[in-house]
Amino acid sequence: MKYSTIIIGSGPAGYTAALYTGRAGMKPLMIDGGIGRGQELLGAGGQLMITTEVENYPGFVHGIQGPELMQIMREQALRFDVEVVEDIANQVDMSQRPFKVWVGDASYESDTLIIATGASAKWIGLPEEKPAHEGGLGGKGVSACATCDGFFFRGREVAVVGGGDTAMEEAVYLTNHASKVTVIHRRDTLRASKIMQKRAMDNQKIHFVWDSVVERIHDPAEGCVTALTLRNLKSGATSVLPVQGLFVAIGHKPNTDLFRGQLDLDETGYIVTHHDVRTSVCGVFACGDVQDSEYRQAISAAGSGCMAAIQAERFLEAEKAGDTSVHGSW
Ligand SMILES: Cc1cc2nc3c(=O)[nH]c(=O)nc-3n(C[C@H](O)[C@H](O)[C@H](O)COP(=O)(O)OP(=O)(O)OC[C@H]3O[C@@H](n4cnc5c(N)ncnc54)[C@H](O)[C@@H]3O)c2cc1C
Protein backbone atom coordinates (compact mmCIF):
# COMPACT_ATOMS: atom_id res chain seq x y z
CA MET A 1 0.00 0.00 0.00
CA LYS A 2 1.37 3.46 -0.90
CA TYR A 3 0.67 6.58 1.15
CA SER A 4 1.23 10.25 0.33
CA THR A 5 3.08 10.53 3.62
CA ILE A 6 4.22 8.32 6.48
CA ILE A 7 4.76 9.93 9.88
CA ILE A 8 7.15 8.06 12.17
CA GLY A 9 6.58 8.88 15.84
CA SER A 10 3.64 10.14 17.90
CA GLY A 11 4.85 12.81 20.29
CA PRO A 12 3.59 16.41 19.98
CA ALA A 13 5.45 16.72 16.63
CA GLY A 14 4.01 13.51 15.15
CA TYR A 15 0.43 14.14 16.28
CA THR A 16 0.51 17.71 14.96
CA ALA A 17 1.89 16.50 11.61
CA ALA A 18 -0.90 13.88 11.56
CA LEU A 19 -3.54 16.50 12.37
CA TYR A 20 -2.43 18.82 9.58
CA THR A 21 -1.85 16.16 6.90
CA GLY A 22 -5.11 14.46 7.89
CA ARG A 23 -7.07 17.72 7.59
CA ALA A 24 -5.35 18.39 4.26
CA GLY A 25 -6.89 15.16 2.95
CA MET A 26 -3.53 13.40 2.60
CA LYS A 27 -4.68 10.25 4.45
CA PRO A 28 -1.38 9.85 6.31
CA LEU A 29 -0.08 6.68 7.90
CA MET A 30 1.35 7.18 11.38
CA ILE A 31 3.67 4.59 12.95
CA ASP A 32 3.19 5.56 16.58
CA GLY A 33 5.94 3.76 18.51
CA GLY A 34 3.51 1.26 20.07
CA ILE A 35 3.68 0.23 23.69
CA GLY A 36 6.59 1.74 25.60
CA ARG A 37 9.59 -0.54 25.88
CA GLY A 38 11.01 1.05 29.00
CA GLN A 39 14.09 3.17 29.37
CA GLU A 40 14.98 3.82 25.76
CA LEU A 41 11.79 3.68 23.72
CA LEU A 42 8.93 5.55 25.29
CA GLY A 43 6.15 4.35 22.99
CA ALA A 44 3.07 6.18 21.74
CA GLY A 45 2.73 9.72 23.08
CA GLY A 46 6.46 10.20 23.58
CA GLN A 47 8.21 12.05 26.36
CA LEU A 48 5.19 13.81 27.84
CA MET A 49 3.85 10.40 28.86
CA ILE A 50 6.45 10.43 31.66
CA THR A 51 5.68 13.96 32.81
CA THR A 52 3.19 15.22 35.36
CA GLU A 53 2.19 18.87 35.19
CA VAL A 54 2.69 20.73 31.90
CA GLU A 55 2.17 24.41 32.63
CA ASN A 56 3.61 25.97 29.49
CA TYR A 57 1.52 24.46 26.71
CA PRO A 58 -0.76 27.28 25.47
CA GLY A 59 -4.48 26.79 25.86
CA PHE A 60 -4.51 25.24 29.34
CA VAL A 61 -4.92 28.04 31.87
CA HIS A 62 -4.27 25.80 34.88
CA GLY A 63 -1.84 23.40 33.19
CA ILE A 64 -2.49 19.79 32.25
CA GLN A 65 -0.99 16.38 33.02
CA GLY A 66 1.38 15.19 30.25
CA PRO A 67 -0.43 11.88 29.46
CA GLU A 68 -3.79 13.70 29.34
CA LEU A 69 -2.39 16.26 26.88
CA MET A 70 -1.08 13.47 24.65
CA GLN A 71 -4.41 11.64 24.76
CA ILE A 72 -6.16 14.84 23.64
CA MET A 73 -3.63 15.34 20.82
CA ARG A 74 -4.16 11.75 19.68
CA GLU A 75 -7.96 11.98 19.70
CA GLN A 76 -7.86 15.30 17.84
CA ALA A 77 -5.48 13.97 15.15
CA LEU A 78 -7.37 10.70 14.66
CA ARG A 79 -10.58 12.56 13.81
CA PHE A 80 -9.09 13.29 10.39
CA ASP A 81 -8.57 10.04 8.48
CA VAL A 82 -5.21 9.12 9.96
CA GLU A 83 -4.27 5.45 9.79
CA VAL A 84 -2.18 4.24 12.72
CA VAL A 85 0.21 1.31 13.07
CA GLU A 86 0.76 0.74 16.80
CA ASP A 87 4.36 -0.39 16.64
CA ILE A 88 7.88 0.80 15.87
CA ALA A 89 9.45 1.22 12.44
CA ASN A 90 12.53 -0.99 12.31
CA GLN A 91 13.91 -0.24 8.84
CA VAL A 92 13.70 2.60 6.36
CA ASP A 93 14.88 2.92 2.77
CA MET A 94 15.25 6.51 1.58
CA SER A 95 17.52 5.75 -1.36
CA GLN A 96 14.69 6.26 -3.85
CA ARG A 97 11.03 7.25 -4.01
CA PRO A 98 8.62 5.90 -3.08
CA PHE A 99 10.30 5.62 0.32
CA LYS A 100 9.91 2.32 2.16
CA VAL A 101 9.30 1.81 5.86
CA TRP A 102 9.21 -1.58 7.56
CA VAL A 103 7.37 -2.54 10.71
CA GLY A 104 8.51 -6.07 11.41
CA ASP A 105 7.92 -7.96 8.17
CA ALA A 106 5.26 -5.55 6.88
CA SER A 107 6.43 -2.77 4.58
CA TYR A 108 4.75 0.52 3.61
CA GLU A 109 5.56 2.94 0.81
CA SER A 110 5.15 6.71 0.67
CA ASP A 111 5.89 9.75 -1.48
CA THR A 112 7.08 11.78 1.50
CA LEU A 113 8.30 10.94 4.99
CA ILE A 114 7.87 12.93 8.19
CA ILE A 115 10.29 11.89 10.91
CA ALA A 116 9.13 12.73 14.44
CA THR A 117 10.95 10.11 16.51
CA GLY A 118 11.99 12.46 19.32
CA ALA A 119 14.68 11.71 21.82
CA SER A 120 15.45 9.22 24.62
CA ALA A 121 17.12 9.58 28.01
CA LYS A 122 20.89 9.24 28.26
CA TRP A 123 22.59 6.94 30.78
CA ILE A 124 25.87 7.38 32.66
CA GLY A 125 27.35 4.23 31.13
CA LEU A 126 27.83 2.13 34.26
CA PRO A 127 27.25 -1.65 34.00
CA GLU A 128 24.89 -1.48 37.01
CA GLU A 129 22.44 0.66 34.99
CA LYS A 130 21.61 -2.29 32.74
CA PRO A 131 18.28 -4.07 33.25
CA ALA A 132 18.07 -6.70 36.00
CA HIS A 133 18.00 -9.59 33.49
CA GLU A 134 21.41 -8.40 32.25
CA GLY A 135 22.83 -8.39 35.77
CA GLY A 136 22.25 -4.69 36.44
CA LEU A 137 19.91 -2.69 38.65
CA GLY A 138 17.78 -1.04 35.92
CA GLY A 139 14.20 -1.24 37.18
CA LYS A 140 15.55 -2.38 40.58
CA GLY A 141 16.34 1.06 41.95
CA VAL A 142 17.99 2.67 38.90
CA SER A 143 15.61 4.74 36.78
CA ALA A 144 15.45 7.60 34.29
CA CYS A 145 11.86 8.50 35.10
CA ALA A 146 10.89 9.90 38.48
CA THR A 147 7.25 10.13 37.44
CA CYS A 148 7.14 6.43 36.64
CA ASP A 149 9.15 5.11 39.58
CA GLY A 150 9.14 7.80 42.29
CA PHE A 151 6.18 6.11 43.97
CA PHE A 152 8.33 3.10 44.85
CA PHE A 153 10.63 5.27 46.99
CA ARG A 154 8.20 6.56 49.60
CA GLY A 155 10.10 7.54 52.73
CA ARG A 156 13.45 6.49 51.20
CA GLU A 157 16.61 8.35 50.27
CA VAL A 158 17.39 8.76 46.56
CA ALA A 159 19.90 10.52 44.33
CA VAL A 160 19.50 12.37 41.03
CA VAL A 161 22.41 12.75 38.60
CA GLY A 162 22.45 15.87 36.43
CA GLY A 163 22.39 19.65 36.52
CA GLY A 164 19.82 20.67 33.89
CA ASP A 165 16.09 21.39 33.95
CA THR A 166 15.15 17.73 33.75
CA ALA A 167 17.35 16.89 36.76
CA MET A 168 15.81 19.69 38.83
CA GLU A 169 12.30 18.70 37.76
CA GLU A 170 12.98 15.07 38.71
CA ALA A 171 14.51 16.09 42.05
CA VAL A 172 11.58 18.34 42.99
CA TYR A 173 9.06 15.70 41.95
CA LEU A 174 10.86 13.02 43.97
CA THR A 175 10.50 15.07 47.16
CA ASN A 176 6.79 14.18 47.01
CA HIS A 177 7.81 10.63 47.82
CA ALA A 178 11.40 10.39 49.10
CA SER A 179 12.59 11.56 52.52
CA LYS A 180 15.79 13.01 51.06
CA VAL A 181 16.98 13.73 47.50
CA THR A 182 20.67 14.27 46.75
CA VAL A 183 21.53 15.91 43.45
CA ILE A 184 24.96 14.87 42.17
CA HIS A 185 26.47 17.20 39.62
CA ARG A 186 29.85 17.04 37.91
CA ARG A 187 30.32 20.83 38.02
CA ASP A 188 29.97 23.47 40.74
CA THR A 189 27.11 25.34 39.03
CA LEU A 190 23.84 24.14 37.50
CA ARG A 191 22.85 24.36 33.83
CA ALA A 192 19.15 24.51 34.76
CA SER A 193 17.06 27.64 34.21
CA LYS A 194 17.03 30.12 37.09
CA ILE A 195 13.44 29.30 38.04
CA MET A 196 14.15 25.55 38.23
CA GLN A 197 17.38 26.14 40.20
CA LYS A 198 15.48 28.27 42.70
CA ARG A 199 12.71 25.69 43.04
CA ALA A 200 15.23 22.93 43.78
CA MET A 201 17.45 25.00 46.06
CA ASP A 202 14.50 26.29 48.08
CA ASN A 203 13.34 22.72 48.72
CA GLN A 204 14.47 21.56 52.17
CA LYS A 205 14.54 17.92 51.11
CA ILE A 206 17.05 18.50 48.28
CA HIS A 207 20.80 18.44 48.95
CA PHE A 208 23.63 18.93 46.46
CA VAL A 209 26.95 17.16 45.95
CA TRP A 210 29.08 19.27 43.60
CA ASP A 211 32.00 18.39 41.28
CA SER A 212 31.23 14.70 41.61
CA VAL A 213 30.33 11.68 39.53
CA VAL A 214 28.85 8.29 40.33
CA GLU A 215 31.56 5.69 39.98
CA ARG A 216 29.69 2.62 41.16
CA ILE A 217 26.15 1.65 42.08
CA HIS A 218 25.84 -0.89 44.92
CA ASP A 219 24.77 -3.65 45.01
CA PRO A 220 23.83 -5.89 42.09
CA ALA A 221 24.57 -8.92 44.29
CA GLU A 222 21.72 -7.88 46.59
CA GLY A 223 19.39 -7.09 43.67
CA CYS A 224 18.69 -3.54 44.86
CA VAL A 225 20.38 -0.15 45.23
CA THR A 226 22.01 0.28 48.64
CA ALA A 227 24.61 3.03 48.05
CA LEU A 228 26.67 4.94 45.47
CA THR A 229 30.40 5.38 45.30
CA LEU A 230 31.04 9.02 44.35
CA ARG A 231 34.27 10.52 43.12
CA ASN A 232 35.07 14.21 43.51
CA LEU A 233 36.52 15.36 40.19
CA LYS A 234 38.59 18.13 41.79
CA SER A 235 40.15 16.28 44.72
CA GLY A 236 39.91 12.72 43.39
CA ALA A 237 38.52 11.62 46.79
CA THR A 238 35.85 8.94 46.87
CA SER A 239 32.92 8.70 49.26
CA VAL A 240 29.93 6.45 49.78
CA LEU A 241 26.39 7.85 49.71
CA PRO A 242 23.75 5.49 51.10
CA VAL A 243 20.61 5.66 48.91
CA GLN A 244 17.90 3.25 47.81
CA GLY A 245 17.32 4.79 44.39
CA LEU A 246 19.23 6.50 41.59
CA PHE A 247 17.54 8.67 38.97
CA VAL A 248 19.66 9.50 35.93
CA ALA A 249 18.73 12.86 34.36
CA ILE A 250 21.68 13.83 32.17
CA GLY A 251 19.98 14.60 28.91
CA HIS A 252 18.69 12.89 25.83
CA LYS A 253 19.80 11.10 22.71
CA PRO A 254 17.88 11.76 19.48
CA ASN A 255 16.21 8.62 18.11
CA THR A 256 18.01 8.58 14.77
CA ASP A 257 19.80 5.20 14.65
CA LEU A 258 17.23 4.08 12.07
CA PHE A 259 18.28 6.85 9.68
CA ARG A 260 22.06 6.81 10.16
CA GLY A 261 23.88 6.76 6.83
CA GLN A 262 20.75 7.77 4.91
CA LEU A 263 20.44 11.43 5.83
CA ASP A 264 22.68 14.08 7.37
CA LEU A 265 23.00 14.02 11.15
CA ASP A 266 25.04 16.44 13.27
CA GLU A 267 27.89 15.30 15.53
CA THR A 268 25.46 14.50 18.37
CA GLY A 269 23.09 12.54 16.14
CA TYR A 270 20.35 15.14 15.62
CA ILE A 271 18.87 15.34 12.10
CA VAL A 272 20.21 18.35 10.23
CA THR A 273 17.40 20.40 8.68
CA HIS A 274 17.26 23.43 6.41
CA HIS A 275 14.26 25.61 5.49
CA ASP A 276 13.13 24.65 9.03
CA VAL A 277 12.14 21.02 8.48
CA ARG A 278 13.71 19.77 5.23
CA THR A 279 16.31 17.03 5.69
CA SER A 280 19.18 16.29 3.30
CA VAL A 281 16.92 13.88 1.36
CA CYS A 282 14.39 15.41 -1.03
CA GLY A 283 10.88 14.56 0.20
CA VAL A 284 11.93 13.70 3.77
CA PHE A 285 11.00 16.14 6.55
CA ALA A 286 11.94 16.05 10.24
CA CYS A 287 10.25 17.79 13.16
CA GLY A 288 10.39 17.99 16.94
CA ASP A 289 13.17 16.96 19.31
CA VAL A 290 14.77 14.66 16.74
CA GLN A 291 16.01 17.77 14.90
CA ASP A 292 15.98 20.30 17.74
CA SER A 293 18.67 20.14 20.38
CA GLU A 294 18.02 23.71 21.46
CA TYR A 295 14.37 24.27 22.43
CA ARG A 296 13.14 20.70 23.15
CA GLN A 297 9.65 21.79 24.19
CA ALA A 298 6.23 20.38 23.40
CA ILE A 299 5.09 23.61 21.76
CA SER A 300 8.17 23.92 19.54
CA ALA A 301 7.86 20.22 18.60
CA ALA A 302 4.19 20.72 17.72
CA GLY A 303 5.06 23.89 15.77
CA SER A 304 7.63 22.11 13.66
CA GLY A 305 5.20 19.18 13.15
CA CYS A 306 2.82 21.73 11.61
CA MET A 307 5.62 23.08 9.39
CA ALA A 308 6.60 19.58 8.21
CA ALA A 309 3.00 18.76 7.31
CA ILE A 310 2.48 21.99 5.37
CA GLN A 311 5.80 21.59 3.56
CA ALA A 312 5.02 17.95 2.66
CA GLU A 313 1.62 18.97 1.29
CA ARG A 314 3.07 21.84 -0.79
CA PHE A 315 5.86 19.60 -2.07
CA LEU A 316 3.36 17.01 -3.32
CA GLU A 317 1.06 19.68 -4.78
CA ALA A 318 3.97 21.20 -6.71
CA GLU A 319 4.98 17.79 -8.06
CA LYS A 320 1.40 17.07 -9.07
CA ALA A 321 1.34 20.37 -10.97
CA GLY A 322 4.52 19.33 -12.81
CA ASP A 323 6.66 21.91 -11.01
CA THR A 324 10.07 20.22 -10.91
CA SER A 325 11.72 23.31 -9.40
CA VAL A 326 10.63 21.85 -6.10
CA HIS A 327 13.41 19.26 -6.48
CA GLY A 328 15.98 21.78 -7.66
CA SER A 329 15.32 24.14 -4.77
CA TRP A 330 15.61 21.41 -2.14
C1 LIG B 1 10.58 14.74 32.26
C2 LIG B 1 10.22 15.66 31.13
C3 LIG B 1 9.41 16.78 31.37
C4 LIG B 1 9.09 17.66 30.33
N5 LIG B 1 8.28 18.72 30.59
C6 LIG B 1 7.92 19.55 29.59
C7 LIG B 1 7.03 20.65 29.83
O8 LIG B 1 6.57 20.89 30.95
N9 LIG B 1 6.71 21.43 28.78
C10 LIG B 1 7.20 21.22 27.52
O11 LIG B 1 6.86 21.96 26.62
N12 LIG B 1 8.03 20.19 27.27
C13 LIG B 1 8.41 19.36 28.27
N14 LIG B 1 9.26 18.32 28.03
C15 LIG B 1 9.83 18.17 26.66
C16 LIG B 1 8.82 17.56 25.72
O17 LIG B 1 8.35 16.37 26.27
C18 LIG B 1 9.48 17.30 24.37
O19 LIG B 1 10.06 18.46 23.88
C20 LIG B 1 8.47 16.80 23.36
O21 LIG B 1 7.81 15.65 23.84
C22 LIG B 1 9.13 16.47 22.04
O23 LIG B 1 8.17 16.00 21.18
P24 LIG B 1 8.52 15.09 19.92
O25 LIG B 1 7.23 14.80 19.26
O26 LIG B 1 9.58 15.70 19.13
O27 LIG B 1 9.19 13.76 20.51
P28 LIG B 1 8.80 12.73 21.65
O29 LIG B 1 7.84 13.27 22.61
O30 LIG B 1 10.11 12.23 22.14
O31 LIG B 1 8.08 11.56 20.83
C32 LIG B 1 8.77 10.76 19.92
C33 LIG B 1 7.87 9.66 19.44
O34 LIG B 1 8.54 8.88 18.44
C35 LIG B 1 8.35 7.50 18.71
N36 LIG B 1 9.42 6.73 18.07
C37 LIG B 1 10.75 6.73 18.31
N38 LIG B 1 11.38 5.86 17.50
C39 LIG B 1 10.41 5.29 16.74
C40 LIG B 1 10.42 4.31 15.71
N41 LIG B 1 11.54 3.72 15.32
N42 LIG B 1 9.23 3.96 15.14
C43 LIG B 1 8.07 4.56 15.54
N44 LIG B 1 8.01 5.50 16.51
C45 LIG B 1 9.16 5.85 17.09
C46 LIG B 1 8.33 7.44 20.23
O47 LIG B 1 7.76 6.24 20.67
C48 LIG B 1 7.46 8.66 20.52
O49 LIG B 1 6.11 8.35 20.33
C50 LIG B 1 9.58 17.42 29.03
C51 LIG B 1 10.38 16.29 28.78
C52 LIG B 1 10.70 15.42 29.82
C53 LIG B 1 11.55 14.20 29.53
The verdict on 244 and 300 lying in the same domain is no
Nearest-CA residue for ligand 1 atom 1 is 51
State the DSSP code for 231. Answer: E
Structural domain ending residue among the three candidates 205, 223, 248 = 248
Ligand 1 touching residue 117 (CB < 6 A)? yes
The verdict on 151 and 84 lying in the same domain is no
Query: Which residues, 6 or more positions from 189, have their beta carbon under 8 angstroms from its beta carbon?
Result: 163
The verdict on 291 and 174 lying in the same domain is no
Give the side-chain half-sphere CA count within 13 A for 253.
Answer: 13
Ligand 1 touching residue 244 (CB < 6 A)? no
Q: How far is CA 7 from CA 123, 175, 207, 264, 292, in A?
A: 28, 38, 43, 19, 17
The verdict on 91 and 67 lying in the same domain is yes
Query: Which residues, 6 or more positions from 317, have their beta carbon under 8 angstroms from its beta carbon?
Result: none
pLDDT in tens, 263-312: 999 998 999 999 899 999 999 999 999 999 878 789 999 999 999 999 99
Structural domain harbouring 236: 123-248
The verdict on 168 and 311 lying in the same domain is no
Which residue among 16, 32, 51, 115 has the greatest number of ligand 1 atoms within 8 angstroms of its CB, and so is best to mutate?
51
Domain count, the chain: 2
Q: What is the pTM of this model?
A: 0.79
Q: What single string gives the DSSP state of each residue in 253-281?
A: EES-GGGTTTS-B-TTSPBP-BTTTB-SS
Cα 42 to ligand 1 centroid, rounded to whole Å = 8
The verdict on 138 and 222 lying in the same domain is yes
The span from the CA of 284 to the CA of 121, in Å, is: 25
Q: How far is CA 95 from CA 31, 112, 153, 259, in A?
A: 20, 12, 49, 11
Ligand 1 touching residue 289 (CB < 6 A)? yes
| CATH code at position 237 | 3.50.50.60
- Which residues belong to the active site? 145, 148-149
Cα 12 to ligand 1 centroid, rounded to whole Å = 7
The verdict on 215 and 281 lying in the same domain is no
The verdict on 233 and 286 lying in the same domain is no
Q: How high is the pLDDT of residue 40?
A: 57
Give kind and range of the element (H or E) at residue 107. Answer: strand 106-115
Q: What is the pLDDT along the chain (330 residues), one digit of tens a residue?
A: 899 999 999 999 999 999 999 999 999 999 999 986 554 567 899 988 866 678 889 999 999 988 899 999 999 999 999 999 999 999 999 999 999 999 999 999 999 999 999 988 788 999 998 877 778 898 789 987 787 678 889 999 999 999 998 899 999 999 999 999 999 999 999 999 999 999 999 999 999 999 999 999 999 999 999 999 999 999 999 999 999 999 999 987 999 999 999 999 999 899 999 989 999 999 999 999 999 987 878 999 999 999 999 999 999 999 999 998 888 878
Q: How high is the pLDDT of residue 50?
A: 67
Nearest-CA residue for ligand 1 atom 20 is 298
Q: How high is the pLDDT of residue 308?
A: 98
The verdict on 241 and 152 lying in the same domain is yes
The span from the CA of 236 to the CA of 72, in Å, is: 50
Ligand 1 touching residue 243 (CB < 6 A)? no
The verdict on 170 and 210 lying in the same domain is yes
The verdict on 114 and 7 lying in the same domain is yes
Structural domain ending residue among the three candidates 248, 264, 280 = 248
Cα 323 to ligand 1 centroid, rounded to whole Å = 35
Query: Which residues, 6 or more positions from 24, have their beta carbon under 8 angstroms from its beta carbon?
Result: 309, 313
Cα 324 to ligand 1 centroid, rounded to whole Å = 35
* Closest among 129, 41, 29 to 82, alpha carbons compared: 29
Q: Which atom of ligand 1 is nearest to the CA of 289?
A: 26
The verdict on 167 and 217 lying in the same domain is yes
Structural domain ending residue among the three candidates 214, 248, 282 = 248
The span from the CA of 147 to the CA of 145, in Å, is: 5
β-pairing, 53-54 vs 64-65, is antiparallel
